[in-house]
Structure 1
Amino acid sequence: MNTRQLLTGMSLFLYSAFFLNQPAYSKEVTPSFQDYRVVESLQKVFESVAEKVKPAVVNISTISEVKINHPPIPPEFKDFFFHFGVPFPQFPDKFRTRSLGSGFIVKQEEEWAYILTNNHVVDKATKIKVKLSDGSVYRAKVVGKDPKTDVALIKIKVGNKKVPTVELGDSDRIKVGEFVIAIGNPYGLNWTVTHGIISAKGRHGLGLNPIENFIQTDAAINPGNSGGPLCDIHGKVIGINTAIVRNAQGLGFAVPINIAKKVMNDLLKYGKVIRGWLGVYIEDISPELAKKFGVKKGVLITRVMKDSPAEKGGLKNGDIIVEFNGQPVKNVADLQLKVINTKPGEIVKIKVIRDGREKVLTVKIGQMPGTEHLALEDLISKFGFSVQELTEDLRERLGIPRWVKGGVIVTEVKPGSPAEDAGLREGDVIVKAGTTPRNLRRVKNLDDLLAVIRNAGDSGILLKVVRGEGVFYVVLNQEE
């Protein structure tokens, strides 16, 4: 056999081996009846969820006022305009912004419908409008906000009208890989439905919220989806669509509904969010530390706060917390959630590794500082004024009469607010509050005023006010 014959034989062999093993692209693919049934069943699930949940999803539009801090203008610059007889230009000190978001109706009590959404959707809004799926539009009021989890609860007055509500699920039971459906108003395209899967659970360290335990999903989420529901295949809400990673695809994050439910229940019951507090700075332990201490999981205490529940309970810098009340501690986010979900005053057992040995400590959980301030911000902002407790220093500087015992002093009154309409001014001292002359009670501190406002509901509030040497009464009504 010569070279030409050898090359010809090899070419024929390779040609046959390549083409005889290729798939028959020309062969027609005919799906079976069973194939169609499977796809149609999945399609019906998505259709069912959309029909069930969409009516309870709302469009939220807000107007906010943003203050502008102008740099100081030199007198010479003003003199220049004055020299030529030209009025000095007046620069605006604020401007209005508009934004869109989503929300969903969770419950209806009497004439009020309550809506869960994101805090960043309604934060600093001066006006909030809610559009229902039937096209009706309502002015909304903020029940309360929680910046730490980016959850807010608002309400609309619907009267005798029956509105659709969603069913809340259990975000602790969901699993990675499950189908999910997101509904919202991306870019103003109302009641858009997208689907995907749960990509991950317990995402934290993203720098989006102080408290993070996000559900990650690849369901399409865009600006305007914020505050909308993330649902399972049964139509139960398992999360609040919250954030996206810009310039990325398939990276959306939702606040677990179990976190939102606690925030909602606390706001309705207490007017603020009640959280447990341990009082430690912590960080995840590295693989090297884990190997040295002989642990697989846990968190390292880098600092114990002075006079905190942790210090009183015997925790020390360098301790590694491995168990909290009998449950293993996985990481920083896991411990944070365990602590904040513990009722203040509850006694817990905390197992630590100290100097290579296990030690179990008994700690009385405290209440996270700052929740009272948030409640004050949420409740007082409805009427357009802010206050602080009357101290001796303020009494001296403002010349408050000595016969005024206790009270809170008005530090700011927003223009056009119910407080301004009622006649309140900066420097006024609120000494009594109630809903009628009969139930007026002394206001010794901030908590006294908050209690009256919280219990008053939507009725007007009667205030006894001291201004200079005079005393008068005002009635505050929430803006409709």
Structure 2
Amino acid sequence: MSSENTPPSTPWWISADGSSLTGATPSQRRRASKRPVSFNVAIAMAVVAGLIGGIAGKSITTSQNTRLISVSNTIERKPDSIAGIAARVSPAVVSISVTSSTGGDTGSGFFINSNGYIMTNNHVVQAAAVDNGTITVNLVNGKNYEAKIVGRDSSYDLAVLKIEVTDAPALTLGDSDKVQVGDNVIAIGSPLGLAGTVTSGIVSAKNRAVTSGGGTGESSFINAIQTDAAINPGNSGGPLVDQSGAVIGVNSAIASLSASYGSQAGSIGLGFAIPINQARKTADQLIKNGTATYPIVGMSLDNRYTGIGAKVVDSPAGILAGGPAEKAGIKPGDIITAIDGVNINNSDEAIVMIRSHNVGDRVTLTFKRGSVTKKITVTLVASTAYTKK
């Protein structure tokens, strides 16, 4: 075999004569660069390159001081966020503690003006009123004040208290007539004595007929705003606010499961608030006069009636002498089926519907007498205007 076909015994980067390719011609270098590299040689080259890189990297790392960077993030909370609204509203919300000979009670309230007037529920302070008890108001700044009752009204379950402060952080009162189902709302109060508790939800329904009874047998009839914001015992009297932070309702009642449903206590997502438009009118009367009134038609309804509608008590005592109902021709035993075109299912709904109006408003009553249905229009009068026979 010719010597020209004998493979070179030297590596590809060394010429056959033992000299480097550095001085080779370009054509020689091109031919040399095309020579194949064996698998073992390639592995060896990779290992060597890795070791060199590692040593170099270690040298660079050890020659420099390691620096740890600490980053501080600031969360921007929008004014209309739950956190932003709670921060603005909470300073005006108070906790209320009542002590009487029959025991104690707790609730919530909020400043309605800077002179120390506080709105709350009648049932929160009722024990102190009837038993000459004491009422203590606790502010968010930790200060406590003894409060006096300016006035209270069981028909709407509202009361106004007064403490001796100036420049109180009063809340803005909104317009509950503009509230829509689905609006976001926030409830703030002291459930179970836990002051400053904030919960959120939506307006679940409007114009819910809610009846609640006080310990003295007085009943309240509320044309309520329903919400799924968690409301528990102790939230009573606290504000329900909208996304602007304006009060749209006074938290007043909750629905609880009966024994047949497991007797679950506390919030089940069914809370009820007195619309602030009604609460504002009542509070203004209480501050001005110490008492409040409500509109009436001048008839008594039979709460034992189980049919559809509201039945007028079937006796002469069912109609007030000289009242709107008598003047319009309503008689004992008539059944009210609608008010202003809205169907009435029971006596509670009829009372709530009437009390949602103002004294002097004209309303249309649809009623049945036997098989005959009639419509009449009456003008509502103040509850203090007439006396039953």
Shared fold per TM-score greater than 0.5: yes
CA distance in 1, matches of 2:233, 2:375: 47
The reply on whether 1:174 has 2:210 as its aligned counterpart is no
Q: How does 1:200-239 map to 2 (within 5 A)?
A: 200-204=205-209, 207-208=212-213, 209-239=219-249
1:277 positional shift: 1.8
2:113 pairs, out of 107, 112, 121, with 107
Partner residue of 1:150? 157
* CA shift for structure 1 position 334: 5.2
Q: Which residue of 1 aligns with 2:251?
A: 241
The TM-score normalised by the length of structure 1 is 0.53
User: Secondary structure of 1:312's match?
Assistant: helix
Measure, in 2, the Cα distance between the counterparts of 1:371 and 1:199.
37
Q: Distance in 2 between matches of 1:171 and 1:346?
A: 19
Structure 2 partner of 1:120: 123
Conserved 8 A contact 1:299-1:320: yes
Partner residue in 1 for 2:4: none
Question: 1:197 aligns to what?
Answer: 202
Q: Structure 2: how far apart are the matches of 1:52 and 1:329?
A: 39
**8 Å contact kept, 2:293–2:384:** no
Q: Take 2:234 and 2:328, find their aligned partners in 1: how far apart are those partners?
A: 46
Query: SS at 2:151's partner residue?
Result: strand
2:319 corresponds, among 305, 326, 338, to: 305
- In structure 2, the partner of 1:275 is 294
8 Å CA contact 1:284–1:299 kept in 2: the answer is no
Q: Is the 8 A contact 2:210 2:224 kept in 1?
A: no
More relative contact order, 1 or 2 (CA 8 Å, 6+ apart): 2
Deviation at 1:215, TM superposition (A): 2.3
Match of 1:252 in 2: 271
Work out the CA distance in 2 between the residues paired with 1:48 and 1:329: 39
Shift of 1:244: 2.9
**Mapping of 1:365-444 within 5 angstroms?**
365-368=380-383
TM-score, with structure 2 as normaliser: 0.64
- CA separation in 2, counterparts of 1:371 and 1:270? 19
One-letter amino acid of the counterpart of residue 258, structure 1: N
Q: Which structure has the bigger radius of gyration?
A: 2
Give 2:91's aligned residue: 55
> For residue 251 of structure 1, what is the amino acid of its counterpart?
L
Letter in 1 for 2:285: D
Structure 1 residue 130 and structure 2 residue 130: aligned?
no
- SS of the residue aligned with 2:123? helix
CA gap of 1:353–1:195, structure 2 versus 1, over 3 A, is same
Query: Displacement of 1:103 after TM fit?
Result: 0.5
C-alpha spacing 1:344/1:308, structure 2 compared with 1 (3 Å): farther
1:314 Cα deviation (Å)?
Answer: 0.6
2:80–2:244 Cα contact (<8 Å) kept: no
The equivalences for 1:8-87 within 5 A come to 45-66=81-102
SS at structure 1 position matched to 2:274: strand
Question: Which whole-Å CA distance do the structure 1 matches of 2:355 and 2:379 have between them?
Answer: 13
* Equivalent position amino acid for 1:113 in 2: G
- The superposition leaves residues 399-442 of structure 1 with CA deviations (integer Å, 9 ceiling, x where unpaired) of xxxxxxxxxxxxxxxxxxxxxxxxxxxxxxxxxxxxxxxxxxxx
Q: Give the AA of the match of 1:135.
A: G
The answer (yes or no) to whether the contact 2:225–2:274 under 8 Å persists in 1 is yes
Give the CA RMSD over aligned residues: 3.4
Identity %: 41
SS in 2 for 1:116: strand
Check if 1:328 corresponds to 2:333. Answer: no
What whole-Å deviation, never above 9, does each CA across 1:131-181 have from its counterpart, x for those lacking one?
2222222221101111222211101111xx311111111222222222211
CA shift, 1:270, in A, is: 2.7
Kindly state the Cα deviation for residue 265 of structure 1 after the two structures are TM-superposed.
1.5
Pick from 181, 187, 193 the counterpart of residue 188 of structure 1.
193
Q: CA–CA distance in 2 between the matches of 1:131 and 1:54?
A: 12
Pick closer, same or farther for the CA change 1:131–1:364 going to 2, 3 Å. Answer: same
Counterpart of 1:186 in structure 2: which amino acid? Answer: P
- What CA deviation, in whole Å up to 9, does each residue of 1:97-120 have, x standing for no partner? 233221000113xxx311001112
Cα separation, 1, equivalents of 2:332 and 2:183:
41
- SS class of match (2:207): strand
- Describe the shift of the 1:48–1:65 C-alpha distance in structure 2 as closer, same or farther (beyond 3 A): same
**In structure 1, distance between residues paired with 2:84 and 2:293:** 37
Residue 196 (structure 1) shift: 1.4
Letter in 1 for 2:380: I
Contact 1:322 1:328 in 2 (8 A): no
Cα separation, partners in 2 of 1:220 and 1:338, compared to 1, 3 Å: closer
Deviation of residue 129 (structure 1)?
1.4
Question: Distance between the aligned counterparts of 1:342 and 1:271, measured in 2?
Answer: 21
Q: Please say if residues 329 and 335 of structure 1, whose CA atoms lie closer than 8 Å, have aligned partners that are also in contact.
A: no
Structure 1 Cα separation of the partners of residues 290 and 162 of structure 2: 14
Residues of 1 paired with 2:201 and 2:210: CA distance? Answer: 23
Q: CA shift at 1:254, angstroms? A: 1.9
Counterpart contact for 1:100–1:121, Cα < 8 Å = yes
**Larger proportion of strand:** 1
Match in the other structure for 1:78: none
Deviation at 1:49? 1.0
Cα 1:300–1:54 shift into 2, 3 Å = same
